[in-house]
A and B are shown apart, each in its own frame.
Chain A
Amino acid sequence: MDMIVIPAVNMTPILPEIFLSVLAMALLLINVFVPGGQKTYLAYISFFGIVASAVLVAAGWGSHVESFSGSVVLDNFATFFKMIFLVAAGLAVLISDRYMEREECNHGELYPLILFTVVGMMLMASGTDLMTIFLGLEVMSVSLYVLAGFNRANKKSNEAGLKYFLLGAFSTGFLLYGMALIYGATGTTRLYKIATIVGQMTLPSANIMLVAGMLLMMTGFAFKIAAAPFHMWTPDVYEGAPTPMTAFMSAGPKAAGFAALLRIFLLALPTLQAEWSQVLWVLAVLTMTVGNITALRQDNIKRVLAYSSIAHAGYALVGFTAGNGTGTAGILFYMLSYAFMNIGAFAIIILVAKKGETNGNVSDFAGLGFKKPVLAVVMTLFLFSLAGMPPTAGFIGKFYLFSGAVQKGYIWLAVIGVLNSAASVYYYLRIMVYMYMKDATEEFEWVQVTAPVALALIISAAGSLIPGIIPSIILEYAQMAVKLI
């Protein structure tokens, strides 16, 4: 009788994942067995868990370890993205507590779910097998569906959860179908092996099964990163979900989607770059333009940022279209900066909003500039960073993304990108117009900055400003991270 031989497994590449999973399960149990309505301690435990996990992740910088028969890898690329996820999750946890209390949906399950999402995203970034990546994606998505609908008493939150679930499931179908076709065409799901086999094909672009698989996978991920024309769910979900979760969703999962996209397309399908970059070109232009043009007409500030988040995916796709070192390093840099600036902006929105998610229109910011000057200055910083004005991280990020395109010869793509960027300035300015140039109708006396929120704001402000002045501190790592793929 043959024994099933289990190969020696090296657990180091997934240590942070294991740590966070254990922590999440522990938190679930603590939540059940410790009585009382106050869940603040869970937020603190999660935050410190995230910090500890960040230390674990950082310790892996520079190493290259493959494990689980080459289906998971620990490399700088994965490490960089894991840091982005942890930043997004850490900031989201910091801004969640007070919000959840205000909205009276302070259930302890929130924090374990955030941690599970992070585990899923981490697997997506470090997976080198289509199945691992898919597994990670599902872990992430299922947790996110719950998080989007977390405010059970709120109709819009319910709608967000359901919508996200239905469309997410739909897009997963595309993704899986694409993966199946790739498997059919190459006979493997390991990315390295796919690359070898596709490399040996005489004319891979004529292999219909392969190309169809590639396109279907792209569609699946386009849903996840909210690229037009697969972005329809985004505004509704972003508006309905609890604001801290919107902030988290716009930064973390989007970065995870890009991580998986970059890994699959640059590692497994570089021979088809001429084909997929054409599709991406169109996708990038559509995404930027649709996002920005639609954002111009929004009044609800969460919807403004939802559409702006679509546009930002478009900018990142510009760098992806280029697919060169400059462009991909730009994506990494941009995703990290975006986590800081966008979550920071959402933190301010949470502060200004009132119970039941009211007071969430752009006009409700009228006069904030002189009633709460510090908050307004910080918000201004986030908005300028989102708009891509120097000297902020957002500018440097866009500079590298568009440079990648110019370097590769996609000059018109860069031109369309900057024109979009100029159009986007209008709706960011509009928020500032209300903050500084309209008279206050409110005293904003309900705006209370608690310690965790203050910490989140300080971290986000520093993350939006400092890399804009000394970009090397992050760009160097981004450059190293993309060298491997």
Chain B
Amino acid sequence: MSNVLSLTTFLPILGVLLLLFIPKDSKGVLRNVTLAVTVVTFLVSLIILTGFQSNAEFQFIENMPWIAAGPFVMRYNIGIDGISLWLVILTTFIMPIAVLSTFTAVEEKVKEYMICLLLLETGMLGAFISLDLFLFYIFWEVMLIPMYFMIGIWGGKNKIYAAVKFFIYTMVGSLLMLVALIFLYFKGLEAGITDFGLLQFFSLKLDLATQIWLFLAFAFAFAIKVPMFPLHTWLPDAHTEAPTAGSVILAAVLLKMGTYGYVRFAIPLFPEAAHKFAPLIATLAVIGIIYAALVAMVQEDVKKLVAYSSVAHLGFVMLGVFAFNVEGITGGMLQMINHGISTGALFLIVGFIYERRHTRLITDFGGLSKQMPIFATIFMIVTFSSVGLPGTNGFVGEFLILLGAFEGQLRWWTVVATSGVILSAVYMLWVFQRVMFGELDNPKNQKLLDLNAREITIMVPLLVMIFFMGLYPKPFIDKMDPAIKKLVAQVRISPATAQVIPVSTQTQIPEGHPGAQQMPAGHPGGATPAAVNQGSSPAPQQVTPAVNPHEAK
């Protein structure tokens, strides 16, 4: 099974071809076939999981020539390590659940909907497994198309606005990344790199000024996708308007593209720039955590509340990742999976009540626990997971993130972020209280049916994962640990590399250059690139010890 990775990725496309031959009126067949395809994809992906060796190397590599024209060589180069492994599994795991959730929610244009879902799955898997920068970019962009149609065709009232905003926001970021990608390639070409293969670029030494520009372009694209404050405004719109399955996939997988992009590309490719911007990004992450939590608190629409909670959770992920230590990044990775499971589950729960009542306003509900006890239990477990109660998956991730960030150079950021944990408990428990407890006074709510067998089937795997990851996260951590250790070593700024840079740029900047001396050490990342550019020669030497005390000891 040497090409099991390709098989997993392109199985959904085969499913699409299958769907094309099914008449569009046989909705049941369409649904079941799609479900079967995603389940088979999940099962195939389990082969990857069982065959994966717990080491830091990329595995299941497939590397074939693809394009070679002019100065460019692109290869079909794929493979996974402990970091991408779990995101691949998360994707294949969530997809059947998402498909199952549409069985009654989507009644119109079922065929097209299922095709979109399957195309989306291939796009997402492809982006996680690409080891060729160009190939990654292709999948990264392709992903947009089915999601755009899902929001735009099957979405709510403001669907068109939300869909176009989602598309254009992401497109602007990724196109700037494309220019950076091309620039990086030509830099690599000068240094003897022969193709777009990601791994070769890890050893490419770039001077700090170049790194900063390239990091900014990559970071901008990923920050939109995460989304980080203040680029998050497309997310509440997209989430609120998207159909349930769309929201689930958007939250569970698509947002991880952004954080994954940092872990896989932006940070290891440009480690010194990443260190330089760590304070800025951590600040934005913490603002995101607090701000999103506060905004979530006052939402009237449950779905919007969950959407904002997403922004807060991903702020935690970013904080952990930018701690640059094993604890922080492990926590960030776990939190990515946790968020996929618990926020995915929350969107499903919102979907359940929306299907029954066609409203999502908190004030329309109250006392549902009396009428829907199973639903209440599930909702409560998921709520606990989302707020990070010990024993659930959410706790492990958040704890490791805060631990890592506190031990790293982000101590004060951690202190503020911790209050975000409290705030998340406030808004989640409060919404739970308002929806589930109290008087069952609204007559429309008195006839609500509890979850049916299909809906329970959807939720059970998620609940199992919530407890499994909460009580015994070891298997997850074991598989990702070597890769994360390698990453941490990769992004550690050794004094040696820091000293190389001034030598290379010193010649360009005359001694006693006024700009170079005025540049404050450890300038908190908010420096304009031009200023950083000028001051690049002395800055790294002074910044290094200040930025990374943890790694130094």
- Residue A391 at the B interface, CB < 8 A? yes
Whether the Cβ atoms of B159 and A326 lie closer than 8 Å is no
Interface residues on B, range: 20 to 34
Partner of B145, one of A384, A470, A472: A384
Partner of B67, one of A403, A414, A432, A472: A472
Whether the Cβ atoms of B69 and A419 lie closer than 8 Å is no
A450, B338: Cα distance in complex, Å: 54
A345, B450: Cα distance in complex, Å: 50
Closest residue of A by beta carbon distance from B148: A429
A326, B73: Cα distance in complex, Å: 13
Whether the Cβ atoms of B183 and A419 lie closer than 8 Å is no
| B445, chain A: closest CB distance, angstroms | 32
Partner of A433, one of B70, B164, B178: B164
Contact with B along A413-444 (1 / 0, CB 8 A): 01100110110011001101100110000000
Whether the Cβ atoms of B176 and A418 lie closer than 8 Å is yes
- Residue B468 at the A interface, CB < 8 A? no
| B473, chain A: closest CB distance, angstroms | 37
| B168, chain A: closest CB distance, angstroms | 6
A391, B168: Cα distance in complex, Å: 18
| Residues in B whose Cβ lies below 8 Å from that of A418 | 175-176, 178-179
A389, B72: Cα distance in complex, Å: 19
| Residues in A whose Cβ lies below 8 Å from that of B183 | 406, 411
- Residue B415 at the A interface, CB < 8 A? no
Known: A411-B183, A433-B164, A437-B163. A419 touches B67 (CB 8 A): no
| Residues in A whose Cβ lies below 8 Å from that of B191 | none
Partner of B186, one of A391, A406, A471: A406
- Residue A93 at the B interface, CB < 8 A? no
Whether the Cβ atoms of B109 and A419 lie closer than 8 Å is no
A418, B180: Cα distance in complex, Å: 11
- Residue A275 at the B interface, CB < 8 A? no
A389, B69: Cα distance in complex, Å: 19
A391, B164: Cα distance in complex, Å: 20
Closest residue of B by beta carbon distance from A437: B152
Whether the Cβ atoms of B182 and A433 lie closer than 8 Å is no
Whether the Cβ atoms of A403 and B167 lie closer than 8 Å is no
- Residue A390 at the B interface, CB < 8 A? yes
Partner of A402, one of B72, B160, B167, B182: B182
Most chain-A CB neighbours within 10 Å: which of B67, B138, B178, B186? B178
Whether the Cβ atoms of A399 and B178 lie closer than 8 Å is yes
Whether the Cβ atoms of B70 and A426 lie closer than 8 Å is no
Whether the Cβ atoms of A479 and B69 lie closer than 8 Å is yes
Contact with B along A451-485 (1 / 0, CB 8 A): 00000000000000000001110011011000000
- Residue B403 at the A interface, CB < 8 A? no
Partner of A403, one of B71, B109, B137, B175: B71
- Residue A77 at the B interface, CB < 8 A? no
Partner of A476, one of B69, B145, B159: B69
Whether the Cβ atoms of B70 and A400 lie closer than 8 Å is yes
Whether the Cβ atoms of B149 and A436 lie closer than 8 Å is yes
Interfacial residues of chain A within 360-399, with CB under 8 A of chain B in the complex = 370, 373, 384, 389-391, 395, 399
| Residues in A whose Cβ lies below 8 Å from that of B168 | 422, 425-426, 429
- Residue B171 at the A interface, CB < 8 A? yes
| Residues in A whose Cβ lies below 8 Å from that of B1 | none
Known: A402-B182, A425-B167, A436-B152. A389 touches B145 (CB 8 A): yes
- Residue A257 at the B interface, CB < 8 A? no
| A289, chain B: closest CB distance, angstroms | 15
| B61, chain A: closest CB distance, angstroms | 22
- Residue A329 at the B interface, CB < 8 A? yes
- Residue B62 at the A interface, CB < 8 A? no
| Residues in A whose Cβ lies below 8 Å from that of B543 | none
A411, B152: Cα distance in complex, Å: 34
| Residues in A whose Cβ lies below 8 Å from that of B149 | 436
| A392, chain B: closest CB distance, angstroms | 10
- Residue A63 at the B interface, CB < 8 A? no
Whether the Cβ atoms of B142 and A437 lie closer than 8 Å is no
- Residue B231 at the A interface, CB < 8 A? no
- Residue B297 at the A interface, CB < 8 A? no
Known: A403-B71, A437-B160. A411 touches B153 (CB 8 A): no
A478, B71: Cα distance in complex, Å: 13
Whether the Cβ atoms of B152 and A433 lie closer than 8 Å is yes
A479, B144: Cα distance in complex, Å: 31
A33, B175: Cα distance in complex, Å: 57
Closest residue of A by beta carbon distance from B164: A429
- Residue A120 at the B interface, CB < 8 A? no
Whether the Cβ atoms of A415 and B176 lie closer than 8 Å is yes
A430, B167: Cα distance in complex, Å: 12
Interfacial residues of chain A within 212-229, with CB under 8 A of chain B in the complex = none
5 closest A-B pairs by beta carbon, nearest first, are: A475-B69, A418-B175, A390-B138, A406-B182, A422-B172
What are some 16 contacts across the A-B interface (CB < 8 A)?
A325-B70, A389-B141, A399-B178, A406-B183, A407-B182, A418-B176, A418-B179, A419-B176, A421-B175, A429-B168, A433-B160, A433-B164, A437-B153, A475-B69, A476-B69, A479-B69
